[in-house]
Amino acid sequence: MANEEDCRAALGRVAARLKEVDADRFAEHVVERTISCRIPDLGLAYRTRLHQGGLDPFEPDGDHAAAQVRLTMDSDDLIALADDELSPAKAWAAGRLRIEASIFDLLRLRKLL
């Protein structure tokens, strides 16, 4: 099981990867949204805001349910996703990644990942 520091570093790698997406493609699919990432095996949750400029820094989140897009995964799966050892689609299909969002947000996210 990863620790809190490992998870924060992994979230940073995910944010850095989004900066590598072509700016035109990114702008085409991004709508401003709040995103929460809950890590139940550590009892942690972080929140960020997705916008045309990328992701804001992740901050501790006290109200996971209030975010427009809610991700839930264990710490080891977060690390694997951030390190490209696990694809988001495979993680979701295997039940290792739970995504709660509108159908439109899910389609947009799919095009970015």
Name the CA dihedral angle for 13, 9, 98, 107, rounded to a multiple of 10 degrees. Answer: -20
pTM for this entry: 0.86
DSSP designation for 32: -
Rounded Cα gap, residues 42 and 61, in angstroms: 13
CATH at 38:
3.30.1050.10
- As for how many domains the chain has, the answer is 1
Asked if residue 88 lies in contact with residue 97, where contact means CB atoms within 8 angstroms, the answer is yes
Integer Cα distance of 104 and 87 in angstroms: 20
- Look up the domain containing 42 and give its range: 4-112
Mean pLDDT by 10 residues, the chain (113 residues): 93 88 77 93 95 88 90 96 92 94 82 59
